[in-house]
Amino acid sequence: MKKKSLFIFLAIALAAGLAAALYLMAVTGRSVVSKAGNTGRSPSVIPESPITPKEEGKEVSQRTFVVSEEMIEVMRERQRRNNEEEARLIQKYYDEMSEEDKAARPAGVSTVDWAQYGAFLEQSAKDNGDVVFFGKVVDESGNPLPKVAVSWNLLGKRSSLAEVMEKGSKTKPFFENWTINEKSEAVTDADGRFQITDRRGTSLSIGDFKLEGFAWDKKGKTYFKFGSDAYLARGNSVRHQGDRDNPVVYVLRKK
């Protein structure tokens, strides 16, 4: 099922290109072909606007484009076949969707639209990567601080339509609910350590540290990337390599 979304994108793009070409020929009077085919038929002549443009103060002849009736018919046939193939791929994608995703389809949304939403969502979710982060909180003398509340924020892309419908905002448009924006807290153990794992997303931000009698001076790295290779390449970013034996250290001072 993971390869189907790519086929759907390709079919949609090709269909759109052919539709645009036919529109130029049939509606605006333009053609993408400048010579008639040698078919023995009389070519269709599609003139440009009768207005003669001027170039450097001189009137120039307007170019006339011609296209054979056979070429028009060939393009229309390709358009029809691509529409049929697109419909076949969309239906196949819907048939292979999970029962949870099918059940999440809202009333009034067609199976075709729901399958297309699923294909775009699947492609978008490929930006996610495994989140593996280890941190440690100490005082100014390097002593570990237990029971520190560490707030964090994870960004990413949702991976299923059912998740979008379950966790997304009921007041936002569907497409705005595709983004994960998870906010939570971790608590340091007796050794001052905490970890954020078993999640997938694109980036993680450490927000704040709270412990009675201590304050954080906002020092230290707080933003980390975890996305896929393709996602990181688009932003020329580097994935954070979480290491349990070498956690990111944060220092709190006594108030």
Measured distance CA(5)–CA(124) in Å, rounded: 10
pLDDT greater than 50 at residue 116 = yes
Measured distance CA(248)–CA(241) in Å, rounded: 11
Distances (CA, A) of 199 to 20, 149, 157, 214: 43, 19, 11, 30
- 70's CB contacts (< 8 A; 6+ apart) are 37, 39, 41
pLDDT tens, 136-166? 999 999 999 999 999 999 999 998 888 888 8
pLDDT greater than 60 at residue 33 = no
pLDDT greater than 50 at residue 251 = yes
Measured distance CA(64)–CA(251) in Å, rounded: 75
For the chain, domain boundaries: 4-45+64-123, 130-254
Residue identified by tokens 């949702």 is 158
38-73 b/e (C-beta count within 10 Å ≥ 16 → b): eeeeebbebeeeeeeeeeeeeeeeeeebbbbeebbe
What average pLDDT does range 20-32 have in this prediction? Answer: 50
Measured distance CA(112)–CA(94) in Å, rounded: 8
- 215's CB contacts (< 8 A; 6+ apart) are 252, 253, 254, 255
- CATH top class, domain 130-254: mainly beta
pLDDT tens, 200-228? 999 999 999 999 999 999 999 999 999 99
Banded pLDDT at 13 (limits 50, 70, 90):
low
